[in-house]
Structure 1
Amino acid sequence: MAEMLDKILAMKLVHQKDKDGRTPLHCAASIGYLEGVQMLLRQSNFDLYQTDSDGFCPIHVASRGGYVDIVKELLQFSPDSGELPSKHEGRNFLHVAARHGKDDIVDFVLKREGLENLINEKDNYGNTPLHLATWHKHAKVVHYLTWDKRVDLNLVNEEGQTALDIAESMMDKLRMRQTLIGIALMSARAQRAPKSKVKRSGSADAQPPPESKVPPSGSAGAQPPPESKVPPSRRPKLSDPTKEYKDMTNTLLLVSTLVATVTFAAGFTMPGGYNSSNPNASMATLLMRNMFHVFVICNTIAMHTSILAAITLIWAHLHDTFLFNISIQWGLAFLGLAVIAMSLGFMASVYLAVSNLHWLAIVVLIIGIICLVGLLIPLHLLFLPDSSTNCIVRYISYYPFLILVWASSPKIKRKD
């Protein structure tokens, strides 16, 4: 590829544009070709202000692709290029990174000195990078921005909306990414606008900001018209939340019933069996073993907590939003305790069965402990989302929160 680029440089074609208005520098930046970018910058008198048909300069293209090395190289060549606005939306490269969920670029800007003025800069529609990341559901970008004290969480756009207003307009407890964004903003003490025009509770009319004032015809970056211009009869119908609530509770109810069934059966099939002769007829043969005591206690806890979970989840079918939230919260807690107790009981039971072979019993314990820790992590994450503004709670949940963000966010493919 370097040889081909040398030929292009020799033919003085470096300033030529393709049908989409992209120069060779645009193309190299769009695919993350660092060596090519360096060659073009060194050997040519490039105008970094040239825009393609989407209104993007090379630094915007690199930011959209998430190529930190390319952005660093362009900033080193021309520090002022960081402030270049896109032609149609007036967005700097941080806006573009936040819009497309490129958290590596956002993290780089927050740590790089001299780029502080980009953090709260507004585009032509009054949107800051935080607004755009919230609109487009990029929870990790929102997380990074809310942890930086230089970010003004309460700036409003032209619609009179803060980032929290936007998050609440899309809030849906059955959508993890929206919920995490709302939690990140609330825990950072973000405020609502005094007179926000945003429509709350997941309104179908709440639309993201337009991508450009003049969408280029025929270009790869052309955007469809805003949904607000689409006739109501053609708008996609929202899914029925009641059905989703029932599906969720039915799944949890099935799991809790299975746990109760298994633990009930284990109560009558004790490890080691029963004595058949007097004076201890019908008593468990391993009654005096410590691990047997662990098995009985854990099995009893699993049995009763799974029944409690089932009963609690039944309340979620009473078509009351408040009862649904409480039922899910307590039902998950009971079910989590039941699963942990059942795992401990199984480990104790297997240990008793192989206790005469010392090394195997130790291996069983080690495997059981490792798996139990692995079980506790996802169970802990189920209860993590918390909008508490307490600094200690925020710091404790920093990395677990990122795990949730990673688990709930789809992988964003780079554009070549």
Structure 2
Amino acid sequence: MSRSVTTNNESSGPSDHSLGFKLKQPMHSCVIVEDRGEYQSMDLELYWAATKNNVDAFIDVLEHVSRKKEQSLSTIIFDQVSPMGNTLLHIAASFGNEETVGLIAYHFPPLIKKRNSEGDTALHVAARAGHELTVTILVQLRKDFVDSTLCSENGGKIQRDVDWGNLLLRVKNDKGNIALHEALMNGHQVVAYYLIAVDAEVLYYLNNEGKSALFLAAEAGYLEFVMHILCDTVGIENTNERLKGKSPIHAAILKRNRGVLEALLKSEPRFVQLGDEEGRTPLHLAASLGYLEEVQYLLGRQSSGAVARDNNGLFPIHLASIKGHVDVVQALLQYWPDSRELLNCHGQNILHVAAKSGGHNMVSYILQTPELEKLINMSDKHGNTPLHLATMDWHPKIVNTLTWDERVDLKLVNNEGMTALDSAEYHMERMPSFRKRLTWTALKAAGAPRAYCRKALNAKKKQASMQLEQWNIDSYKDRVNTLLLVSTLVATVTFAAGFTIPGGYNNSDPDQGVATMLKQNWFHMFIFCDTIAMYSSIIIAVTLIWAQLGDLNLVLTAFRLALPLLGISLTMMSLSFVSGVYVVVSNLNWLADAVLIMGLVFLTILIALFIPLCIPVSSNYPILRYIFYYPFHLLIFVTRSYTQDDLVEYKSLWWML
């Protein structure tokens, strides 16, 4: 390749242009053009030429564009940018076109430090794409150019206290990444090896996320590269202080890479104490993620980590309890069995934080472990027991579990003089969600008392005013009309069914007009159920007509009567349907049995859903409480009052699907 050309800015026309590219000619002979404030949009032909690995074709297109636009080559090179601010050097570097990169960088060195709209230099682009030779050319040409320039400016002497040629490797883009970060984040270890060989100082640079090269290598699982970095930094003064940012141990734990984890701790045992921005050690992270093997390994390296606090005063066992990792809690308790001493900054033990976060499995484990019995009624700094916290955070499943345990003292009050029931009523708003209603119901069913302190009395008055406001004249009309509509529809359907009976009527004497299925037992059941359903609906309609008079007492009485009757009416209508269909298909046994089974299943679901509406499940009578145990849990499920454990389970099922 030998083509003779000049790069003279003063050339006035295309006829003056000729170009020669010899990488070994003196660097100081090249022409330097200052950066311009305004740029022309890139010529499409020139863009495609920069993407091809053909330097001769690029030169031809460059000369052609220069003649067409009647501009000098230097003007074309500097002014041509893409919509994202990429120069021709950026484009050639992204495609790994070494000769084209060398041509542009050699004759126009200032482009090497030119940034695009994301703050990337051509070196960032080449490192991200993993073009090793392109990276080498850019680094070497920049270094030679800077050394030559400094030499000419300082009378032949170069200032060696600052490595000006390596500054290109330390330039950050808008994300705070240097070229080394880009290479590691995109899996180009060979490029990363070269960059740290040129300038080892880049190992200590952090991006905007606080990630160093060591963190990125550990995160990606590059064991050999991690060991190489560790070997290069051994013996260097203040290495631990300079390796700031996010802990590489945390990265190894996040990816569950045991090899990288062992290499890091073997090279620098003090890494096990290295905390993140929240002051959480590697053991904190492993415990919160539920990584039992990593927890056991870290405890084996330094068991005192089990009693290390983060910036929020949390021990690793607290994080494991919040996330519901029972096996991790068991492992941590082996290293510090007296869990009463493991309190966070609010004086809360592991049962407190589990109840507050909704970890049902963790709460159940603690209640079933005799050694942890002393935690059940402990109070935090605000006097709240685990039951108080579960109540105030509205976890009905946790509250129900705690109240079924006889060891839980329902009468305990917090520093404000309120029991758990007082807290529930005090924090309920005017129109509470069903989840909050279920929490209050669980406390009422367990017979939780009130303390009748000033705040508790205010809560009682607040609840009474809420109920009165809830049953005002404007709000009850919609409920009355809805029930009236349903009862009317049921009465209409059952009335029609009574005259369109299964099997029809006889058309001949002496039984003309008599039902053909009259002597069938299932037909008898159809008649009874249909009749009960129709008259129940009629009674509901008449009752609700009384409610239209506007008297609040009549409204409440009507609702107490109408809801159970509506449940009976819907149940009887369902039974009449099953019995009616069964009697007409009874000659085909498998079909009749299928109809019967489906009817019973759906009838059971109907009853389970309707019982809590008809009868208050907050009764503290032992027999009724046992009866309503499963309907209560069904309500928790269908109203999506999920605990932390449920959310983890549903998330795992979602990923499986």
AA aligned to 2:633 is L
Map residues 392-407 of structure 1 onto 2, 5 A cutoff.
Answer: 392-407=623-638
Gaps of 5+ in 1: 205-238
Comparing 265-274 with 64-73, greater Cα deviation is found at 265-274
Distance 1:385 1:105, change over 3 A: farther
The alpha carbon displacement at 1:67 in A equals: 1.2
Aligned to 2:71: none
Partner of 2:403: 146
CA distance in 1, matches of 2:589, 2:621: 48
Map of 1:53 onto structure 2: 311
**Alpha carbons of 1:93 and 1:267: their partners in 2 closer, same or farther (altered >3 Å)?**
same
1:70 pairs with 328, 333, 336, which one? 328
Aligned match of 1:114 = 371
In 2: Cα distance, 1:94 partner to 1:267 partner: 59
Superposition map of 1:129-208 within 5 A = 129-170=386-427, 175-198=433-456, 199-200=458-459, 203=462
Whether the aligned pair in 2 keeps the contact of 1:74 and 1:81 (CA below 8 Å) is no
Distance change (3 Å), C-alpha of 1:374 and 1:389: closer
Q: Where does residue 265 of structure 2 map in the other structure?
A: 9
> Which letter maps to 2:632?
F
Q: Per the alignment, in what secondary structure is the counterpart of residue 86 of structure 1? A: coil
Quick one: distance in 2 between partners of 1:337 and 1:170? 36
Taking structure 1 as reference, are residues 257 and 159 closer, same or farther at Cα in structure 2, changes over 3 Å only?
same
Aligned pair in 2 of structure 1 residues 361, 401: CA closer, same or farther (>3 Å)? closer
Query: Higher relative CO (CA 8 A, sep ≥ 6), structure 1 or 2?
Result: 1
Aligned residue type for 1:273: G
Question: Which of 278, 303, 313 is equivalent to 1:20?
Answer: 278
Q: Looking at CA atoms only, which structure, 1 or 2, has the larger radius of gyration?
A: 2
Contact 2:488 2:537 (C-alpha < 8 Å) held by counterparts:
yes
Q: 2:290 aligns with which of 29, 32, 41?
A: 32
Are the equivalent residues in 2 in contact too, given 1:22–1:53 (CA < 8 A)?
yes
Q: Which moved more, 1:132-141 or 1:244-253?
A: 244-253
Q: Is the 8 A contact 1:170 1:201 kept in 2?
A: no
* Match of residue 538, structure 2, among 307, 315, 318: 307
2:525 matches 1:266: no
Q: For each residue in 1:210-245, what CA deviation from the matched residue of structure 2 results, as whole angstroms up to 9, or x when unmatched?
A: xxxxxxxxxxxxxxxxxxxxxxxxxxxxx9775765
Q: CA deviation at 1:200?
A: 1.7
**Alignment counterpart, residue 367 of structure 1, candidates 582, 592, 598:** 598
Alpha-carbon separation, structure 2, partners of 1:56 and 1:322: 53
Partner amino acid, structure 1, of 2:304: F
- Give, in whole Å, the separation in 1 of the partners of 2:551 and 2:286: 56
**Map of 1:350 onto structure 2:** 581
Select 2:302's aligned residue among 35, 39, 44: 44
State the partner residue of 2:488. 257
C-alpha displacement at 1:179, in angstroms?
A: 3.2
Counterpart residue identity of residue 200, structure 1: A
Task: Report the 3-state secondary structure (helix = DSSP H, G, I; strand = E; otherwise coil) of the residue aligned with 1:197.
Answer: helix
CA distance in 1, matches of 2:547, 2:261: 64
Distance 1:268 1:393, change over 3 A: closer
Q: How far does residue 58 in structure 1 lie from its aligned partner after superposition? A: 0.9
- Do the aligned residues in 2 keep the contact of 1:134 with 1:181 (CA within 8 Å)? yes
In the aligned structure 2, how far is the partner of 1:33 from the partner of 1:202?
Answer: 49
> What does the per-residue CA deviation read over 1:287-345, in whole Å, with 9 as the maximum and x for residues that have no partner?
33333222222111111112223344455566666555543443221122112211221
Alignment CA distance shift 1:386-1:362 (3 Å): closer
> Scaled by the length of structure 1, what TM-score is found?
0.81
Q: Give the Cα separation in 2 of the matches to 1:74 and 1:186.
A: 36
- Distance change in 2, residues 1:185/1:410 (3 Å): closer
Shift of 1:91: 1.2
- Which secondary structure state, in structure 1, belongs to the residue aligned with residue 435 of structure 2? helix
Structure 2 partner of 1:220: none
**Cα pair 1:56 1:86 within 8 Å, conserved:** yes
CA gap 1:70/1:45 in 2 versus in 1, 3 angstroms: closer
Whether 1:296 aligns to 2:553 is: no
Number of aligned pairs?
380
On the 8 A contact 2:617/2:632 being kept in 1, the answer is no
Distance of 1:247 and 1:55 partners within structure 2: 51
SS for the counterpart of 2:596 is: helix
Q: Aligned with 1:153: secondary structure?
A: coil
Residue 376, structure 1, aligned to residue 607, structure 2: yes
Matched with 1:227 is: none
| CA–CA distance in structure 2, aligned partners of residues 59 and 318 of structure 1 | 61
Residues 2 and 46 from structure 1, CA distance in 2 versus in 1: closer, same or farther, beyond 3 angstroms?
Answer: farther
Shift of 1:165: 0.9
Contact 1:32/1:67, CA 8 A, preserved across alignment:
yes
Runs of at least 5 residues in structure 2 that lack an aligned partner in the other structure: 1-255, 464-468, 652-657
Change (3 A) 1:79 1:250: farther
Matches of 1:70 and 1:320, distance apart in 2: 60
- For 2:215, the equivalent position in structure 1 comes to none
Q: Distance in 1 between matches of 2:296 and 2:397?
A: 30
On the 8 A contact 1:173/1:179 being kept in 2, the answer is: no
CA shift digits 1:1-42 (9 cap, x unpaired)? 142332342343121111121111111111111111111111
Alpha-carbon RMSD across the aligned residues, in angstroms, is 3.0
Instruction: Check conservation: 1:165, 1:196, Cα contact below 8 A.
Output: no
8 A contact 1:84–1:92 mirrored in 2: yes
Q: Which region of structure 1 is more displaced relative to structure 2, 302-311 or 135-144?
A: 302-311
Structure 2 counterpart SS, 1:406? helix
Rounded to whole Å, the distance in 2 between the matches of 1:144 and 1:52 is 30
Cα 1:341/1:82, change in 2 over 3 Å:
same
**Distance in 1 between residues matched to 2:357 and 2:550, nearest whole Å:** 38
Query: What is the Cα deviation at residue 138 of structure 1?
Result: 1.0
Higher mean C-alpha displacement, 9-18 vs 376-385: 376-385
More helix by share: 2
Amino acid of the structure 1 residue aligned with 2:595 = V
Q: Could you tell me whether the CA contact under 8 Å between 1:170 and 1:202 is conserved in 2?
A: no
SS, match of residue 310 in structure 2: coil
